[in-house]
Amino acid sequence: MIPKENSIDYEEFERMDSGNESLEFINGIVYMQAAPSVAHQIVVTNLSTEFGNYFKGKDCRHFVSPFDVIFENEKEKSKGQPDLIVICDKSGLNEKNYVGVPTLAVEVLEPSTTSRDYIEKMDLYMRFGVQEYWIISPRSKTVEMFTLQQNGTYSEPRIYSKDDIVKSQIFEEFLISLQELFI
């Protein structure tokens, strides 16, 4: 991580990022993604399979990292790589990335990314209006679901654990058993 006093602008980041698919850029700070653990990959694979089944034939699509999401408005530009996203407004999809705001973003915790997922990414997703944000912990086998409220902030999390069935607040028919997620 580059310290905040050494933050850079997006154009400088783009020069660094050419061909490197493991970099994120949030609030002027460059973050390098480490290779995920086996437990992380199991969760991502299982959730991706469930999303694939659920969204088949529907208007929304899901994508798995590494896949760049460019968050941009008149004041800032950031690049993130959520572990999984669901996109319902496909107008921002191009050959390289997605420029826009996913409907749902999922981060699977790793020891090296926990604070970034809870602080920088949660703040980024909230500011740009990601409607639902899940933080999944393979270690504690929990899912925390944050839903964007009308005032532009995330709700207190709904916390799922053990034998619970996760139910999306946006995609109300999407259900997944935690026993299936953490196999």
The pLDDT of residue 14: 78
**Among residues 34, 12, 35, 36, which one has the least CA distance to residue 25?**
12
The answer to whether 98 and 70 are in contact (CB under 8 A) is: yes
Query: What DSSP string runs through 87-151?
Result: ES-GGGB-SS-EES--SEEEEE--TTTHHHIIIIIHHHHHHHT-SEEEEEETTTTEEEEEEB-TT
Supply φ then ψ for residue 20, to 5 degrees. Answer: -100, 105
Q: Would you write out the chain's pLDDT as a tens digit for each of its 183 residues? A: 444 556 777 888 877 766 666 887 888 888 887 788 999 999 999 999 999 999 999 999 999 998 999 999 999 999 999 999 999 999 999 999 999 999 999 999 999 889 999 999 999 999 999 999 999 999 999 999 999 999 999 999 999 998 999 999 999 999 999 999 998
- As a whole number of angstroms, the distance between CA 159 and CA 138 comes to 14
- As a whole number of angstroms, the distance between CA 2 and CA 4 comes to 6
For residue 46 the two structure tokens come to: 């299982």
